[in-house]
Amino acid sequence: MYAVSDLRKLVASGIAASLCVLPCVKLHAQDDRTLAIKNADAKTPEDMKSYVELIEHSNVKIEMLPIPGGVFKMGSPESEADRGDDEGPEHDVTLSPFWMAKTEITWDAYDIWMSDLDVFNRDVNKIPAGPRDELADKYQKSQPTKPYCDMSFGMGTRGYPAICMTQHAARTYCKWLSAKTGRYYRLPTEAEWEYACRAGTTTAYSFGDDPSELGEHAWFADNSSEKYQRVGKKKPNPWGLHDMHGNVAEWVLDQHDPAGYLLDKLRPKDPLFVPETLYPRVVRGGGWNSTPQQCRSAAREGSTEDWIAQDPQFPVSIWYLTDALHVGFRIVRPLNEPTQEEKDMFWDYSEPIQKERPVPLER
């Protein structure tokens, strides 16, 4: 186990590009612990292509798009309308290439893990667990605990974005998906998220500065009918990503500081503000209940304890957020897979450590 202070030093020394969220096992593209997928392998940025990730024992697919590495200005200029105090100072950031999910993770993909659907499918159809299943099951069976209500709150499931998960739950999902596929998935850093959202633009939104055009690109307070909507129904940004503005806000890995970016704690390449408190963590993009200014590329939001205000459990769940109906996530996969040592170091790099007593899997 590494102290957060030690991990900050490692981030500053250049390990941030290989952030967390993979089980402690080496996965080789040549062996049966990696699911073969067309176009999923690349050795150089030029080799990167779009591909469709599959989740075995289900019909779920996750589309992944290549995001080229590059340099951009993170944050908003002081001249930008409706700029938040936490959006500066603007600073140059260099990012390594990665793939990002075309849309937010849907209930179709999330429920497989949350409700053990592929495990039940194997049991019913008497399908033996393969090497990937065996690795993934430790991050799935009885995790998370059974939800205490319909976590979609009646807004829809098939094709709709999953919501109300804690950052811990989203990160554990990434661990499970990594084991399930043999490819390394995690949440994006805040810098990766904004870079992908901007898609080479420098305007308030990826489509320009005029908020009157937002309705063509996003579900937000003015057009959402007070609920989230199916993913991928609005225009994509220049790099083909849907719903980066609006629909649901998205978890990233970083701590949030209301004062803005603490540049002395962020390296210029592949930065990460390592979390050391449970609140606030950053979500990005705005949601179905957000104003246009909250959906801007640079807009930031920090999580609060209000997001679990109505949790009936004691102690409160480490998996669910009863009052964060606007929060979901999407995943990334870096081109350069981190070393085993780096994976081991970064899984529990935040404080406090989230743990829960195991509960037997219900049958």
Q: Can you name the residues that pair with 100 across neighbouring β-strands?
A: 65, 332
Instruction: Give residue 280's pLDDT.
Output: 96
Instruction: Give residue 18's pLDDT.
Output: 33
pTM of the model: 0.89
Instruction: Give residue 340's pLDDT.
Output: 72
pLDDT at 6 over 80: no
Give, in order, the Cα–Cα distances in Å from 51 to each of 60, 117, 174, 199, 210. Answer: 14, 24, 18, 19, 33
Give, in order, the Cα–Cα distances in Å from 172 to each of 162, 187, 191, 260, 316. Answer: 14, 10, 21, 28, 18
Of the pLDDT bands very low, low, confident and very high (cuts 50, 70, 90), residue 314 is confident
The H or E element containing residue 53 is: strand 51-54
In a domain, 360, yes or no: no
Residue 187, domain extent: 4-346
Share of the chain above pLDDT 70, in %: 85
Instruction: Give residue 14's pLDDT.
Output: 41
The Cα–Cα gap between 94 and 189 comes to 12
Instruction: Give residue 149's pLDDT.
Output: 87
**Strand, coil or helix: what is 92?**
strand
Instruction: Give residue 127's pLDDT.
Output: 94
Determine the longest span between alpha carbons in the chain, in angstroms.
62
CA 277: distance to chain centroid? 19
Average pLDDT, the chain: 87
Task: Find the mean pLDDT for residues 241-252.
Answer: 98
In a domain, 358, yes or no: no
The Cα–Cα gap between 48 and 119 comes to 32
How many CA atoms lie less than 13 Å away from 310 in the CB half-sphere? Answer: 8
Task: Find the mean pLDDT for residues 205-215.
Answer: 98
Task: Find the mean pLDDT for residues 290-303.
Answer: 98
Is the separation of the CB atoms in 223 and 215 below 8 Å? yes
- DSSP letter, residue 288: T
Closest C-alpha to 330, from 46, 179, 105: 105
Per-residue model confidence as pLDDT tens digits over 102-159: 999 999 999 999 999 999 999 999 999 999 999 999 898 877 888 878 999 999 999 9
In a domain, 313, yes or no: yes
Q: Can you name the residues that pair with 251 across neighbouring β-strands?
A: 283
Structure token digits, residue 141:
């069976």
Is the separation of the CB atoms in 101 and 64 below 8 Å? yes
In a domain, 15, yes or no: yes
Total structural domains in the chain? 1
Instruction: Give residue 32's pLDDT.
Output: 80
In a domain, 354, yes or no: no
CB neighbourhood size of 105 (10 A): 26
Instruction: Give residue 351's pLDDT.
Output: 61
Instruction: Give residue 352's pLDDT.
Output: 62
Closest C-alpha to 97, from 269, 334, 332, 270: 334
Strand boundaries in 170-284, DSSP class E:
249-255, 281-284
Instruction: Give residue 354's pLDDT.
Output: 64
pLDDT at 167 over 60: yes
How many CA atoms lie less than 13 Å away from 31 in the CB half-sphere? Answer: 9
In a domain, 272, yes or no: yes
Of the pLDDT bands very low, low, confident and very high (cuts 50, 70, 90), residue 8 is very low
Instruction: Give residue 201's pLDDT.
Output: 98
In a domain, 155, yes or no: yes
Per-residue model confidence as pLDDT tens digits over 15-43: 333 333 333 333 334 458 899 999 999 99
Asked which of 75-79, 114-118, 140-144, 352-356 is least confident by mean pLDDT, the reply is 352-356
Q: Which residue has the higher pLDDT, 359 or 210?
A: 210
In a domain, 253, yes or no: yes
Which CATH number characterizes residue 219's domain?
3.90.1580.10
Instruction: Give residue 311's pLDDT.
Output: 85
Per-residue model confidence as pLDDT tens digits over 82-99: 999 999 999 999 999 999
